[in-house]
Structure 1
Amino acid sequence: MTNFPAVDLHAHIDPTITPRDLLNLRAVIFAASRSLAESRVALDRQHHDLLTIWGVGVHPGAKTALDGYDPEEFERLIARTPYVGEIGLDAKVPSRLAKQHEVFAALLTQLQAKPRLTSIHSYRATNEVVEHLEHTPITGAILHWWLGDRATTRRAVELGAYFSINTATMRRSDAIDLIPTDRLLLETDHPDGNRSGARPHQPGNVRDVEAALAKQRGVTTAQIRAHAWRNLATLVNTTGTKSLLPPRVAAILGAIE
């Protein structure tokens, strides 16, 4: 699998980018959206992009996204993509936490019925996010930029969650060793999560994360990339979303299987 492209499970990309510029990144990228309005724009271009999977998101830190959440529209949008991102909780703005909990609970309930690869935000709210997942477990949960403590990380692992790791996670987390290799995925969280990472700072450049994880686990970077692809294949199979992937990405996963 050494010739397989890098895979980035969470990056933010301007949905007006040209298909050529996206393809020139030479990586399979899951592009997270912050609101249903942004998601609509992103999904309208989905069939043009060979290696990019555009997500449907309701970012908990954005008031306009929370206010714009509509269950029926969310249902319509996720019918067009295998990826939901990002949703979750963000304790940076305590005054909106009640609304965040309400929306997150509703989204999880919808995703129980229609599983998707789901990238979950948990800034200063890791325990609360895990409590939601314990109450409303979903298939396909991916905890992105995870900074939970060791006890909360163990709970998340027991729930079957996956974890997408970026350079900031490697630098700040003291619980990465608790994450099984078969639950690890890679991300940039461009443009925020890779500010201190290796240049070029662009979606899909996960080489420094691969190198850091390889050193920690005593394996090669090629093995880390292979694990990421196998884990992605498992997630796609368990969520039943392969038919929603771009054909070229589905073909890569088919070669793994």
Structure 2
Amino acid sequence: MKNLIDTHFHLDHYRNYFEIAKTITELEQYTICVTNSPGIFLSCKNLIPETKYLKFAIGFHPQETTLGGREINDFIRLISSTNYVGEIGLDYSQKSYMSKPLQLKYFEQIVEICASKNKFMTIHVRKAEKDAIRILEKYHPTKAIIHWYTGGCDDMLRLVDLGCYFSINTNMVKGSKKENYHLLPLERILIESDGPYTKVNNKKYTPALLKDAYEEISRFYNNPDLPRNIYYNFEKILLS
């Protein structure tokens, strides 16, 4: 398999991140390395050179309770230095996360900016589908990817109607919601690893396993041409 793409990967969550970064480029696997905050994004950019295959996304994760006004200002200042945004989103699954009003405030600010600047977004949504739909419907971004979707079918199809893409990983196609993902149009599917938070062949994900992840997801969709389809979808979203 050639031209494999991983749209959501946490490079900074590996201890041997220098080695992992080198492997990504050697394997020629296009990888979006998401971050959880502007500070982490900046640190990653300063530590690890980007390549044709490895790009960093600036994040503002709703589970990060330390993020506030200064960080959103940093986000706005730094967004011009990258075409990629993530991980961002809304998460109402636990009270210990950033408060709901702050999540809504920051997410709407970020979506508005990304829509106006046509930025690629990888979005985390958990138990907050209706609010995410409302905000995305307001600004109509053209490069929105819903990462590891766990909501219901109706909301999923509404997001499809809004033009969203969905990134699928190996845990998703084995989980309780797996049948929902068969309802997604082929032209809206991308592949993510969400490494290191997934497993492939019962092993914690590393980039050396991306080929195996593609094979597993291709079997789930009964589509041996899925890698080619994913590459086309990714190319389309970048050019939109």
User: TM-score of the superposition, structure 2-length normalised?
Assistant: 0.86
Question: Cα deviation per residue 1:218-249 (whole Å; 9 max; x = unaligned)?
Answer: 321xx1111111111111101xxxxxxxxxxx
Match of 1:177 in 2: 182
Paired residues, number: 231
Question: By how many angstroms is 1:148 displaced?
Answer: 2.0
Give me the CA root mean square deviation: 2.2
Match of 1:75 in 2: 76
1:22-101 map, 5 Å: 22-25=21-24, 26=27, 27-45=29-47, 47-66=49-68, 68-71=70-73, 73-94=74-95, 96-101=99-104
Q: Quickly say closer, same or farther: Cα 1:45–1:158, change in 2 above 3 A.
A: same
1:137-156 map, 5 Å: 137-156=140-159
Question: By how many angstroms is 1:212 displaced?
Answer: 3.7
Question: Cα deviation per residue 1:119-169 (whole Å; 9 max; x = unaligned)?
Answer: 000122223222221122212000000112111111011000000111222
Amino-acid identity (%): 25
How far apart, CA to CA, are the structure 1 residues paired with 2:199 and 2:158?
A: 30
Residues 43 and 55 in structure 1, CA contact (< 8 A), matched pair in contact too: no
Residues 23 and 51 in structure 1, CA contact (< 8 A), matched pair in contact too: no
How far apart, CA to CA, are the structure 1 residues paired with 2:80 and 2:201?
A: 34
Residues 35 and 41 in structure 2, CA contact (< 8 A), matched pair in contact too: yes
2:33 matches 1:17: no
How far apart, CA to CA, are the structure 2 residues paired with 1:11 and 1:197?
A: 18
Match of 1:6 in 2: 4
Q: 5+ residue gaps in structure 2? A: none
How far apart, CA to CA, are the structure 1 residues paired with 2:170 and 2:206?
A: 13
Q: Quickly say closer, same or farther: Cα 1:55–1:158, change in 2 above 3 A.
A: same
How far apart, CA to CA, are the structure 2 residues paired with 1:124 and 1:208?
A: 30
Question: By how many angstroms is 1:14 displaced?
Answer: 1.7
Higher relative contact order (CA 8 A, sep 6+): 1
